[in-house]
Amino acid sequence: MTEQLRLMAVHAHPDDESSKGAATMAKYVSEGVDVLVVTCTGGERGSILNPKLQGDAYIEANIHEVRRKEMDEAREILGVQQEWLGYVDSGLPEGDPLPPLPEGCFALEDVEGAAGRLVRSIRSFRPQVITTYDENGGYPHPDHIMTHKITMVAFEGAADAERFPESEFGPVFQPRKLYYNQGFNRPRTVALHEALLARGMESPYGEWLERWTEFERVERTLTTHVPCAEFFEIRDKALIAHATQIDPEGGWFRVPMELQKEVWPTEEYELAKSLVDTSLPEDDLFAGIRENA
């Protein structure tokens, strides 16, 4: 018997799974890979970003329940499994100086303790591959940075019975590879921006690229380009399921689908840890694992 391939995607909020690596997950589901999304918080402090739903009293009063239902719909669309880690959204602090984070939020949790919950999930699901965010969180939201921290601890800790005893966290297991999501990368953004302008079309990326320069965002190493263009429609459908978080007429959807598939038919990752031999660049998160499965 061959070993069942399993992928775990660790995200901060409901909707992150649909905006970061969703087409990749749908691709692997279609190939028979087991995919589990672990959502660290309930997104309780997230703003209602869809103009059509802003001011809705029911949604504002029941945002936690609404976002859980949105997550259920996105999960069904992607064909993945999903579980909640059970922490409370920290919100995105704004202002100068920044206000303190709210008491009891995810970003203020003890890293070792929060990692323990993820260790339990890893040991139960036993994924060979885990994806999460880089040390900057992809962007500096405190929950994204905390998600990075606990995933790094849990990747090593899942195999450490002294640090996380089997009696409490389950039998030890060592994942083989850890990736950072890097779908929002400059080469992709520039390629789509220039393709739109070359066709005489308006680009939604001009301001993004100006901000990229303004904030001096560090360029990441893109080690792995996963071909998944045929699953872009599923990605978009899952994202739209998070109705409070996305405007279906907004910038996310202004690039024609056929142009996306032609110009940039992949999703990108940065290989952060690998316990198997692999050659870079890769086109498969399971490179070095399939051969021995």
**Which residues are CB-contacts of 90 (< 8 A; sequence separation ≥ 6)?**
41, 45, 101, 102, 105, 106, 107, 108, 141, 142, 143, 146
- 181: tokens are 């999501």
Scan for tokens 């590879």, then name that residue: 177
Distance CA 10, CA 147 (A): 7
Closest listed residue to residue 259, CA positions, set 187, 181, 191: 191
| Rounded distance between C-alpha atoms, residue 286 and residue 293, angstroms | 10
Nearest to 192 by CA among 137, 143, 136, 258: 258
Task: Report whether 16 belongs to an annotated binding site.
Answer: yes
Cα separations in angstroms, 184 against 76, 101, 268: 24, 26, 8
**CA 195 – CA 183 distance, rounded (Å):** 18
pLDDT tens string 149-177: 999 999 999 999 999 999 999 999 999 99
8 A C-beta contact, residue 221 and residue 270: yes
Only one residue has tokens 């009891």, namely: 104
> 144 labelled as ligand-binding?
yes
**pLDDT band for position 217 (cuts 50, 70, 90):** low
pLDDT on residue 98: 83
Six token digits for residue 189 = 């953004």
SS3 61: helix
Paired with 36 in beta bridges are 8, 81
205 phi and psi angles, rounded to 5 deg? -100, -5
3-state secondary structure of 5: coil
Instruction: Tell me the pLDDT of the chain averaged across its residues.
Output: 94
Angle at 115 between CA 292 and CA 286, to 5 degrees: 20
* H helices, E strands: number in the chain: 11, 7
CATH 3.40.50.150, domain 6-184+221-285, yes or no: no
- At CA 181, angle to CA 124 and CA 272, rounded to 5? 75
pLDDT of 197 over the 90 cut: yes
CA terminus-to-terminus distance, the chain = 9
pTM as predicted: 0.95
Nearest to 117 by CA among 174, 40, 50, 183: 40
Q: What pLDDT does residue 186 have?
A: 92
Q: Which pLDDT score, from 0 to 100, does residue 215 have?
A: 60
Residues 6+ apart with CB under 8 A from 104: 88
pLDDT in tens, 5-56: 999 999 999 999 999 999 999 999 999 999 999 999 999 998 898 999 999 9
What span, in angstroms and rounded, lies between the C-alpha atoms of 196 and 47? 30
- What are the sequence ranges of the domains in the chain? 6-184+221-285, 186-219
Q: Assess contact for 56 and 48: CB atoms under 8 A.
A: yes
64 is in an annotated binding site: no
The residue whose two tokens read 């996380």 is 164
Give the CA dihedral 267, 270, 275, 276, nearest 10 degrees: 50
